[in-house]
Structure 1
């Protein structure tokens, strides 16, 4: 396995909250119903995760934000569930696994995404 993509993003939680107030449709357009139930800080971290994921995928156009969902394992560890446009781009690049780290503290939310897979054309 090789690292095929890496993305990082940082979000000011107060600016993110202001954006949600200015554009209420953003919440429904970007987040799944389960994600929408989270706190503002948690939503900001999830937005950072989606941005970091897009960067790890090479920032292609046409990704549906709801095709990437941040879910928590019973332990609390965040993971990415990808489907549709995001899963198709990952498959195109040979990505089979995503690693995700989230944080929010002191008014900032951040996320790092590592995309791992097999380089297409190389044997494992």
Structure 2
């Protein structure tokens, strides 16, 4: 069953300007070390990579039903990639607590994320699914 859906659209140029103005302070506040390493390893698409992850965090907070309030921190939602390139999202801290609260007993939650960009836009969708835990 679907527990939550979130979407966000982010302007890459806005993120690029924020990076130029606030630099490391912005990076450290919003993005995990792994997310920063991924973005900085893409010299032709640094801002787009950050913008997609920003959009994913916004979309995830919407799927959690809270938005960015109620104690959720930017770094509580982290985007990484499988070896295939597929993006995945891991939740920690308050985001993980919220996910546990909204997951029905006897189910496990799965967070699906998809990212795209087409300059000047980056977009993310997050779907949170509850799957029944098989009886053992």
**Does TM, scored on the shorter chain, surpass 0.5?**
yes
Alignment RMSD: 1.6
The answer for the alignment partner of 2:110 in structure 1 is: 97
Alignment partner of 1:51 out of 52, 58, 83:
58
Which residues of structure 2 form unaligned runs of 5+? 40-45, 132-136
Runs ≥4 residues deviating over 3 A: none
Provide the rounded CA distance (Å) in 2 between the counterparts of 1:4 and 1:16: 30
TM alignment of 1:20-39, pairs within 5 A: 20-24=19-23, 25-37=25-37, 38=39, 39=46
TM alignment of 1:70-109, pairs within 5 A: 70-94=79-103, 96-109=109-122
User: How far did 1:67 drift?
Assistant: 1.4
C-alpha contact 2:8 2:123 (8 A) present in aligned 1: yes
Provide the rounded CA distance (Å) in 2 between the counterparts of 1:22 and 1:63: 24
1:46-79: per-residue Cα shift (whole Å, max 9, x none)?
0000000000011242101111110100000000
Which residues of structure 1 form unaligned runs of 5+? 119-124
Q: Which has the larger radius of gyration?
A: 2
Q: Which moved more, 1:80-89 or 1:48-57?
A: 80-89
User: How far did 1:21 drift?
Assistant: 2.3
User: How far did 1:106 drift?
Assistant: 2.5
Q: TM-score, normalised by structure 1?
A: 0.88
Provide the rounded CA distance (Å) in 2 between the counterparts of 1:35 and 1:15: 18
